[in-house]
Structures are given as structure tokens and as C-alpha cells.
Amino acid sequence: MKIGFIGLGNMGAPMARNLVAAGHDVTGYDPHAPMPDGVIGAISAAGAAREAEVVITMLPNGEILRAVAAEVIPAMRKGAVLCDCSTVDVESARAVAGQAAAAGILALDAPVSGGVGGAAAGTLTFMVGGSAEAFEKVRPLFDIMGQKAVHCGPAGSGQAAKICNNMILGVTMIATCEAFALADKLGLDRQKMFDVVSTSSGQSWSMNAYCPAPGVGPKSPADNGYRPGFAAELMLKDLRLSQQAAESVDADTPMGQLATLLYQTFVESEGGRGMDFSAMLPRFEKRHRG
């Protein structure tokens, strides 16, 4: 398949490499990042999109997505698929889908879960919004880049699923870090805490698979000085998107709102930028009540 790939940073580059390794013809464009091995470089986003059957984008935010879509959609072949794997606001995803439909282009919003490690290993999960026709066209590529792709509904549904998932993740990571800090002060051994909670009603992905306590549970960024697998500032971005979405539909999300404020403080005022989002644990260790 002829694929255009726009946005070849930490996530996009390994995804594109996996497509090349599977035998696909990938033409890429990124104004800053180098071309991964096997990817043919284009001089513009439109150039990468012009002959493609599927154009994949992995971009920082909705504003950039809208700008790239405005450039590539007029260059794409009718019936081709624009598949955006960025995490952006639902409104931008739906706006781009509408613009694509008006030009005879199919569109998917397909944000991912699994981080850089999942991108490299080809084990991402894709949450996909758009038509069933577009989903089926791109499904073979999802199978190469990831281990699971869920068709969540019409345009914007993929972003909605990602935003809701990561709001849960942010809230549960904070609760997990709070609990470890409390356990420390109560004199409870961290390994015993893990052994109980990971098999009891308090279990979660944050505890069982990504434990924020070094030396406890499966290996995680906590065992590597909290170097990011998923950076705190990216969690803050996703939590802000959740609150923007909640405001747009008048949804009451007090825990999501508080998690957003805590990560904002951590990233902007407490040195959390550039650290993993699980570094909330040492943050709570240093703090006192009130």
C-alpha cells in the first residue's frame, strides 16, 4: 500500500518503520525530525500525501492538525483515507472529518495508547472514529502498528474514547501515588502494599502494570529515575482536553478537574516537566497535609 506519513517524531517514526518493515511504500514529511530508515522523504506535507492511499498524521495538537489537513486534503486522491493518530480536541477531529468528506476523502480519528514503547513494538491500541468503510481500509495497517483497534463510532469518537481513558488514568495515578505516600507514613512496607492492592479492590493499571514505586511490581519508569514513558506534560495536555470536552457538553467531572490542576502545578511550578507522569509519588512524599 502507498502510505503518506506526516509527523515523524517519537511516536510517528517507529510507527512508520513498522509499516516499512511490513513491505509498505511509505513517503514521509516532518519539518524537524529526520526520516526513519526506509521512509522516502517528501519536500512538503502535500507531497507526502499526493499519491497515497492512506495518509497518517501524528501531530502535537488540533491547531496543527487543522493546518496540515487544509494542506493535504486538496492534494489527496478521492477515496483515499486521512487517518489522524494524534491526540487532539474532539471539535478539531470533527472539523477535519467534515472538510475531508466535502472533498471526497475518507477520514478517521485514531488516537493511540501504549506510548513510545508500544509504537516501537507494534503493540499500540487504536481508538477509532469515522466510517466503517474507512476503518476497514486502514485495519490492515492498524494490525501492523498495534495489537488492537476498536471502532468507537462516528467522527470524533476515537478522540472521545482517548480523552475519557486518559482522564481515568490521570486520576488513578494520583490516587495510587497518594496511597503509597500515606502507606510510607503509616509504616507499611511498599512491597506488602503492592501485594495487597494489586490483588484487591484497589487494583488498577497504574498500580499493577505501571507501579509508581521503584523496585515494586513490573519494571516501570519509576525504576529508571522517572525518565518518561509518558511525560507529565503530556498527561496535563490530555487532562486539559478532557476538561475542554467536559465544558463543551456540560459534564460534571470534579476528579478530572482536580487531577488537571494537580498536574498543572506539578508541571509548571514543581519541576515535573520532562519527568514521567508517575513522578507524582516523590512529589507527594515531600508534602505534608494542608
> Which residues are tagged catalytic?
162
- Residues 6 or more apart whose CB falls under 8 angstroms from that of 132 comprise 151
**Burial 114-130, CB ≥16 within 10 A → b, else e:** bbbebbbebebbbbbbb
- Residue 215 CB burial class (10 angstroms; 0-12, 13-18, ≥19): exposed
In sequence order, what are the residues at sequence separation of 6 or more whose Cβ sits closer than 8 angstroms to the Cβ of residue 157?
A: 109, 127, 128, 129, 130
CA 129 – CA 152 distance, rounded (Å): 6
Sign of the four-CA dihedral 42, 47, 50, 54: positive
Distance of alpha carbon 222 from alpha carbon 283, whole angstroms: 13
